Amino acid sequence: MKTVLLTSLSADHDPDAVSSIERVLRDSADDLRVLALADTAIGACLACGNCNAAGRCVLRDEMTEILPEIASCDLLVLATSIVFGVHHPLLKLAVDRLMPLGGGRFAVRHGEMHHAPRHPKRFALVGIGLLEASAAPGEADTFERLIGRHAINLACSDHVAVVVRGDADAKGAVRSGLARLGVDR
Amino acid sequence: MNVVLFVGSPRATSNTRSMAAFLSARLAERDIQPIVLDAKRPTLDEAFVTRSIDAIRDADALVLMAPVYLDLPPHVALSWMHAIRERREGLGEASPSVYAISHSGYFEPIHKDVSIEAIRHFVRRMGWGWNGALRFGGTSPIDGKPLEEAGPFSAKVRPALVRLADLIAKRRPIPIDLARAASRRPIPLPTRWIVWLMNAYLRSVSKRATQR
């Protein structure tokens, strides 16, 4: 199984949680590509629209290189600390750059207007969010809704949101999330 | 009354900026000269954050305006929220009432819901007051033009912003009828038809380009 992990988690977060998340993914993937955004500078989306028109991002960096891998993967994993119920801005930097996955035409999915996917392969989406101790009520629910919305927007085959609270067992939570998708080993 | 408008779009021709200009003009008609914090770029710089902190410190109302890129405000807007929270000590006793505006080319309001939720969580974390949100769909054809020149695609936006200016001046929250009116699609056609029309238009544009 080909897996791509986009992560804004770093050693500044709970190092045990971060390493166990990656270990679980390594165990379940034949081929794991990781883009660690805390260590890799990527450019921010310019909103120039070239991706819609020409299917290509005008920026040239590691995100541009990993996009074809995402387009052909089985599993895309987004790992982040949850801030205001959603991605850390560092992960959002990469998520904004996923727009070339959508084509220049439109389609109806779930009764809503969306960009038609540019690539034939459908991947499953896993969102892993570490919930801050100071998180407000409802932030975990928002994160789950966000991953559900991403799954519709990116035309994913399936999705699961894993929220890791405080010092909960990150490894177990991610494993059970993958099991829900039927991709755990 | 001190009003701050945050424009959280990285685009050069930004519909968010068009909305901010229209709202600023309506506020000026009510003797309110808002401070416009326009991100303008895809990433934040320190000077912009400092200017934002200075402006918000004295603000009675803050209007947070951003487009939706993949279900959320763009990176620059999320970063700004993050930076403001990180530097909240610098805000002193600031406690603006917050209005949010979220918009995208997609017609359905559901595309904006998570974006609004994120802004609401930010406001809650800051301990500020929440005065509601407006969701606008089908805004792409505005294409950065002044709203007065944007025809039917700004037809729902303009009256909603006029009412919003009134509400800000009176320090009142957005009523449910306005939130609903704003989120109605600008073209009253079923989604399937809109998608068919958009694709037909895009095909004709690409055919003309090929013939040239």
Owning domain of residue B168: 3-187
pLDDT of B9-49, one tens digit each? 999 889 999 999 999 999 999 999 999 999 999 999 999 99
Q: Which amino acid is at A145?
A: R
B10 burial type by CB count under 10 A (0-12 exposed, 13-18 middle, 19+ buried):
buried
Let me know if residue B201 belongs to a domain.
Answer: no
Q: How far is A125 from chain B (nearest CA, A)?
A: 14
Average pLDDT along chain A = 92
Structural domain tally of chain B? 1
pLDDT at B13: 85
Task: State the pLDDT confidence band at B195, using cuts at 50, 70 and 90.
Answer: very high
Min Cα separation A180/chain B (Å): 24
Q: Examine the pLDDT at B152 and tell me if it is beyond 90.
A: no
Q: Report the 10 Å Cβ neighbour count for A14.
A: 17
Is pLDDT at B158 greater than 70 in this prediction? yes
C-alpha torsion A53→A59→A64→A68, nearest 10: 10
Summarised one tens digit per residue, pLDDT across range A104-159 is 899 999 999 999 999 999 999 999 999 988 888 899 999 999 999 999 999 999 99
Judge: A96–B113 Cβ closer than 8 Å, yes or no.
Answer: no
8 Å CB contact of A153 and B70:
yes
| Domains parsed from chain A with CATH numbers | 2-181 (3.40.50.360)
CB spacing of A150 vs B70 below 8 angstroms: yes
* Residue for token pair 């090929």: B210
Displacement of CA B135 from its chain's centroid (Å): 8
Interval A57-81 mean pLDDT: 96
pLDDT, tens digit, 9 for 90 and up, residues B38-58? 999 999 999 999 999 999 999
pLDDT at residue B63 in the model: 98
DSSP characters over B37-91: EE--SSS--HHHHHHHHHHHHT-SEEEEEEE-BTTB--HHHHHHHHHHHHTGGGG
Q: Which residues pair with B104 in a beta bridge?
A: B137
Q: Is residue B193 part of a domain?
A: no
ipTM entry: 0.95
Q: Using a CB–CB cutoff of 8 Å, tell me whether A52 touches chain B.
A: no
Residues of B at the A interface (Cβ-Cβ below 8 Å)? Answer: 9-11, 42-43, 67, 69-72, 74-76, 78-79, 81-82, 106-108, 110-111, 113-114, 117-119, 121-122, 124-125, 191-192, 194-195, 198-199, 202
Instruction: Tell me the Cα Rg of chain A.
Output: 16
Asked, for residue B63, whether it belongs to a domain, the answer is: yes
**Residue A153 forms contact with B (CB below 8 Å):** yes
Q: Do B10 and A92 touch (CB under 8 A)?
A: no
Report yes or no on B97 lying in a domain.
yes
Q: Average pLDDT of chain B?
A: 94
Higher pLDDT, B62 or B209: B62
Say if the Cβ atoms of B42 and A150 lie within 8 Å: no
Do the bridges between strand A75-82 and strand B97-104 make them parallel or antiparallel, or are there none, so unpaired? unpaired
Q: Supply the CATH number for residue B52's domain.
A: 3.40.50.360
- Contact status, residue B183 vs residue B109, Cβ threshold 8 Å: yes
Could you tell me if residue B73 is inside a domain? yes
> Contact A84/B114, CB-based, under 8 Å?
no
Report the pLDDT value the prediction gives residue A20, as an integer from 0 to 100: 86
